Amino acid sequence: MAKNITNPEKDYARWYQDVIREAELSDSAPVRGCMIIRPYGFAIWENIKASLDRSFKDTGHSNVYFPMLIPQSFFEKEAEHIEGFSPELAVVTYAGGKKLDEPLVLRPTSETMFNHMFSKWINSYRDLPMLLNQWANVILWEMRPRTFLRTTEFLWQEGHTAHANEKEAREEPLRMLHVYEDFARNVAAIPVIPGRKTEREKFAGAVDSYTIEAMMGNGWALQSGTSHYLGTNFAKAFNTMYLDSSNEQKYVHQSSWGVSTRLIGGVIMAHGDENGLRLPPRLAPVQVVIVPILKDASREETMRTAEKIASELKNLDIRVKLDAREGMSPGFKFNYWEVRGVPLRLEIGPRDIEEGYVMLSPRNNPGRDGKFKVPLDNVVNELPGLLDKIQEEMLNEATEKLNERTYTAESFEEFTKAIKERPGFYSVWWDGDTDDEIRLQQETKATVRCIPLDQTGGSGKCIMTGRETSVKVILARAY
């Protein structure tokens, strides 16, 4: 266990902050609730962004950028939207040394601004669908900040689309939810449950909201991406209409969807251990770190060999770091990169070169037991396959944990007792309403995370009402 990192079994919240500090992912800003993302943390975000951006473009979306200052009157046009966001809004009333004629809201989300422009850009059915996305920052005045998970300012992407009919617009948030699910599983190595939000939990102004829910190392849930079918709610508020092929004016149907830097927090908590970060290879800023064991008599030969391996790995588009820093012991470097979660460490010294092998240490199998030798003349060819193997093993491990900590409960009394003793996901029969959800949260601190899209079939009695139902939901405590 790293000496500066708390045992997660003893204090999970402190462990989380320790990992962020020791891995140099972020630091506190001089503004309450805000964070400064440090280079290594931002490199993880850049890899998240690059992967998702490719998927967005592959599905026909184009990137734009909108101002972060939004007229307050825009929010007042959609009543449910302003009511949902009012407590979290930050408003500018003075600028340029004088009071503004109209207050400006610092962007909490951009449905209103996009609709203002959609009304200008969309005239006929030939302009549809309009599929846009922006990478931006947002401000939500957070009362209980937690680094990466809930901060006053954070980075995200928000997709906004306009369609000619309800069918297309309903398909879009589900399509993008599956893009998020694919990223979570195949890049972040995090299994997720895709589902629909309840009326109480849905996005303010949406008709339907969808989510991917991930399980963290302590059994709590993290909402890791959301998408929404907005219907014509914003279109009617902003008069966003188009002329159809029959020369009739109709309102557009819309969707919106987004993920944020909370994904970094998700990766920390889904994979991290008592020694720090563990990063899946496809997401890691550094996939392989080479640590040369330098002895005076053979220093030049060792460095030449290490540099050759690094160069050949770069030619294979593997993100490699050669740590040749002076004045630091190999043990210090091992710990340094272990805390930062580099998937694979390659150690090479004069004896290794003489005997014709290198030592490899995978981060997902730490310690002496996980180390193994690979012939020096074949290591470059073997590393891509080894990184794929680590990626697969990390997903399998996380999936196993999700399955092991997914339980059932037949009654509210049973669930109330179980969630205290065994944090995790609870798959239960549900026919409750908003009042039942409020009671659930007040008495257990758990919420309905989602109504899984994949329903198991059959029927049973709702744990809250006792009524027969064919719907199952996931209950859990959540960040």
Going by their DSSP bridges, the two strands 372-375 and 357-362 should be labelled as antiparallel
Provide mean pLDDT across the span 22-51: 97
Provide mean pLDDT across the span 417-438: 97
d(C-alpha 448, C-alpha 345), whole Å: 41
The answer to whether 221 touches 213, Cβ cutoff 8 Å, is: yes
Q: Is 376 helix (H, G, I), strand (E, B) or coil?
A: helix
Q: Which residues lie across from 92 on neighbouring strands?
A: 104
Model pLDDT, residue 406? 98
Residues 375, 421 within the same domain: no
Residues 214, 257 within the same domain: yes
Residues 231, 307 within the same domain: no
Whether residue 398 lies inside any domain: the answer is no
Name the average pLDDT for the chain. 95
**Residues spanned by the domain of 427:** 406-476
Angstrom distances, CA of residue 311 to CA of 304, 372, 390: 10, 22, 22
d(C-alpha 206, C-alpha 196), whole Å: 12
Provide mean pLDDT across the span 186-203: 97
Tens digits of residue pLDDT in 287-340: 999 999 988 778 899 999 999 999 999 999 999 999 999 999 999 999 999 999
Q: Which of 271, 299, 333 is the last residue of a domain?
A: 271
Residues 449, 334 within the same domain: no
Whether residue 211 lies inside any domain: the answer is yes
Tens digits of residue pLDDT in 366-390: 888 889 999 999 999 999 999 999 9
Model pLDDT, residue 79? 64
Question: Which band of pLDDT confidence, cut at 50, 70 and 90, is reported for residue 84?
Answer: low
Can you give the C-alpha Rg of the chain in angstroms? 25
The answer to whether 333 touches 301, Cβ cutoff 8 Å, is: no
Percent of the chain with pLDDT over 70: 98
Dihedral in degrees, nearest 10, Cα atoms 91, 97, 102, 108: -20
pLDDT of 451 > 90? The answer is yes
Q: If we measure between CA atoms, which residue out of 361, 358, 364 comes closest to residue 380? A: 358
Question: Taking each helix axis from N to C terminus, what angle separates 262-271 and 12-22, rounded to the nearest 10 degrees?
Answer: 110
CATH number of 304's domain: 3.40.50.800
- DSSP label at 76? H
Domain count, the chain: 3
Residue 13's identity, in one-letter code, is: A
d(C-alpha 131, C-alpha 386), whole Å: 38
Angle (CA) 401-406-408 rounded to 5° is 160
Residues 185, 237 within the same domain: yes
Would you call the peptide bond into 350 cis, given omega within 30 degrees of 0 as the criterion? no
